[in-house]
Homo-oligomer: A and B are copies of this chain.
Amino acid sequence: MTPPARMPSRAVTDISDATLQRFAGYRMKRAFNVIRDDLHLVLKPFDLRMLTYTALVLIVDNPGLRQAQLADAMDVERPNVVVIVDELEQRGLIVRDPAPNDRRAYALNPTPAGEHLCATALTAVERHEERLMAGIDAETRAAMFAGLEAIRRGSDRRVK
């Protein structure tokens, strides 16, 4: 009698992820893990997270936008944007002004402190970006951006 086939007598040494490597989603997740971890460290001195940083940039670049617009721009659900805006407001980086012509809504605006922190953080994020992209030539970067944009815009090719 042979021993059970699925109980090998020797330990596995080299783990292969060849099957998963065929998928863009897997590769993106892995690359994004690297970016997320690095960005986390880069933003920590400013007490910002990826989401609060993103929201701050969008508010600085689009003063007066509403929370629903921010949620849409960030691709997060509206309830989740509330806590992000809360945090930025409590830190005095933005204010919830009354929106013109609609007493339900807020016009989100940066404070001078918010604008300043945004600019400082932006510089740090630019350095982070250049560090992570350092080994990648311009054509590859452009192709990468084009591919990512095609996936993002290909919402009509999604399931259902």
Among B12, B20, B29, B64, point to the contact of A65 (Cβ < 8 A).
B12
Q: Give bound CA distance, A57 to B28, whole Å.
A: 17
Decide if B159 touches A38 in the complex (CB within 8 Å).
yes
Q: Give bound CA distance, A32 to B50, whole Å.
A: 15
> What's the minimum C-beta distance from A44 to chain B, rounded to whole angstroms?
9
Give residues in A with beta carbon < 8 Å to B. 6-12, 15-20, 22-39, 41-42, 50, 54, 57-58, 61-66, 69-70, 72-73, 75, 95, 97, 99-102, 107, 109-110, 122, 125, 128-129, 131-136, 139-141, 143-152, 154-155, 157-160
Decide if A28 touches B148 in the complex (CB within 8 Å).
yes
A29-B32, A32-B32, A159-B38 known; A24+B132 contact, CB < 8 A:
yes
Q: Give bound CA distance, A145 to B97, whole Å.
A: 44
Decide if B35 touches A100 in the complex (CB within 8 Å).
no
7 contacts between A and B (CB under 8 A): A20-B58, A23-B129, A25-B36, A28-B35, A29-B50, A31-B151, A31-B152
> What's the minimum C-beta distance from A72 to chain B, rounded to whole angstroms?
7
> What's the minimum C-beta distance from A114 to chain B, rounded to whole angstroms?
10
Decide if A134 touches B157 in the complex (CB within 8 Å).
yes
Decide if A151 touches B35 in the complex (CB within 8 Å).
yes
> What's the minimum C-beta distance from A78 to chain B, rounded to whole angstroms?
15
